[in-house]
């Protein structure tokens, strides 16, 4: 499941929750979600400790004035499964050997969904973004990634199917959400002739 509207490599906040909320609403189970950027929620989970049951307000904290949309925080209850310094080394084909740093990170296990909460923006381009936190995506029915393209390098071979999700975010593929105030008109594809 690709929430590419909120891809940090394209300027996304990584804190929109619309796609995650829909996963929960539809009752999908056995899901790993990478990731929600929320340093405040990470610190609350760390303070509670591994194994603690916590209720957290996650995501929805960063304004997106460039688009006429909002993504409210989600209030979720779950167990703090993993606490990490957020460092891992890429082992896949993209940036092999490079040490990545998500900042302090946690896994919040809500039962149906294991949600990675991070303190620094990192696009999921390597299997280790999940496995370094104790999540084996090969054992999950669904994996939610906030990525458009780079996920394919290290995680693409795992996908039996790909679902592009129409979420909310500044990396939208819905050009009607963007204003294009400084663009000379007409311009393709914004001004296609009516047929």
Whether 75 is in a domain gets the answer yes
- Per-residue model confidence as pLDDT tens digits over 104-119: 999 999 999 999 999 9
Q: Is the confidence at residue 195, as pLDDT, over 70?
A: no
Question: Which one is predicted more confidently, 10 or 160?
Answer: 160
pTM of the model: 0.90
Count CB-CB contacts under 10 A for residue 120: 16
Residue 192 domain flag: no
Q: Is residue 187 part of a domain?
A: no
Taking the C-alpha atoms of residue 43 and residue 105, their distance in angstroms, rounded to an integer, is 9
d(CA 171, CA 8): 9
What's the number of domains the chain is made of?
Answer: 1
Tell me how far the alpha carbon of residue 129 is from its chain's centroid. Answer: 11
Task: Write down the pLDDT at residue 29.
Answer: 98
What is the average pLDDT value for the chain, to the nearest integer? 91
Would you say residue 45 lies in a domain? yes
Instruction: Tell me what the mean pLDDT of segment 160-177 comes to.
Output: 83
Domain contains 186 = no
Whose tokens are 């795992």? That residue is: 158
Q: Which residues contact 41 (CB under 8 A, 6 or more apart)?
A: 56, 57, 58, 59, 106, 108, 117
100 three-state secondary structure? strand
Q: What is the pLDDT of residues 63-90, one digit of tens each?
A: 888 787 789 999 999 999 999 999 999 9
Cβ(78)–Cβ(57) under 8 Å?
no
Q: How many angstroms separate the CA atoms of 172 and 121, rounded?
A: 18
Whether the Cβ atoms of residue 151 and residue 143 lie closer than 8 Å to each other? no
Residue indicated by tokens 């080394």: 89
Question: Considering the domain boundaries, does residue 84 fall inside one?
Answer: yes
Task: Name the DSSP letter for residue 193.
Answer: P
Instruction: Indicate whether 83 belongs to any domain.
Output: yes
Residue 71: closest CA among 190, 156, 167, 163: 167
Token reading at 151: 């996920």
26-37 pLDDT per residue, tens: 999 999 999 999
Query: 125: domain range?
Result: 4-177
For residue 188, is it within any domain? no
42 Cβ neighbours under 8 A, 6+ residues apart: 103, 104, 105, 106, 117, 118, 119
């Amino acid at each position: 499941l690709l929430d590419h509207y909120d891809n940090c490599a394209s300027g996304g906040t990584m804190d929109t929750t619309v796609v995650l909320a829909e996963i929960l609403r539809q009752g999908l189970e056995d899901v790993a979600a990478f990731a929600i950027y929320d340093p405040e929620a990470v610190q609350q989970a760390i303070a509670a400790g591994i194994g603690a049951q916590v209720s957290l307000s996650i995501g929805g904290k960063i304004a997106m004035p460039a688009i006429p949309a909002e993504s409210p925080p989600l209030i979720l209850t779950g167990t703090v499964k993993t606490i990490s310094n957020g460092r891992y080394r890429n082992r896949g084909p993209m940036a092999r050997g490079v040490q990545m740093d998500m900042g302090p990170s946690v896994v919040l296990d809500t039962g149906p969904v294991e949600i990675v909460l991070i303190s620094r923006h990192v696009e999921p381009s390597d299997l280790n973004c999940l496995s370094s936190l104790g999540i084996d995506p090969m054992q999950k029915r669904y994996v939610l990634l906030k990525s458009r393209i780079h996920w394919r390098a290290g995680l693409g071979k795992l996908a039996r199917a790909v679902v592009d999700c129409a979420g909310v975010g500044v990396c939208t593929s819905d050009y009607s959400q963007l204003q294009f105030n400084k663009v000379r008109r007409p311009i393709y594809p914004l001004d296609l002739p009516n047929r």
